[in-house]
Amino acid sequence: MSDYLRNWGVMRILRLLLSIVIIIQGIQLGEWMLVGMGGLFSLMPLFNISCCGTSACNISTTKDNKKEDDITYEEVR
């Protein structure tokens, strides 16, 4: 259990706290869609998944470690 909690960052804790607030607000208002959405949002930090879970947000890198050419700009008047 301590290994699981060791990898928690500030943003992960903040996401969990905000999802708990959403669940509490949904229960108080009687809006069960809001409770369901809060439940979904609470699963994301618990399982450490996000919109970039499929590595869709990664930038591509070259595998051969070649130095990329510097980009030169010229002024157009």
> What's this model's pTM, rounded to 2 decimal places?
0.63
Is residue 70 very low, low, confident or very high in pLDDT (cuts 50, 70, 90)?
confident
Q: What is the DSSP letter of 61?
A: -
Query: Above 80 in pLDDT, residue 2?
Result: no
Domain ranges in the chain are 2-46
d(CA 48, CA 56): 15
Tell the residue number behind the tokens 């996000």, with chain if given.
50
Distance in angstroms (rounded) separating the CA atoms of residues 36 and 16: 14
41 exposed, middle or buried (CB, 10 Å; 0-12, 13-18, 19+)? middle
* pLDDT tier at 5, thresholds 50, 70, 90: confident
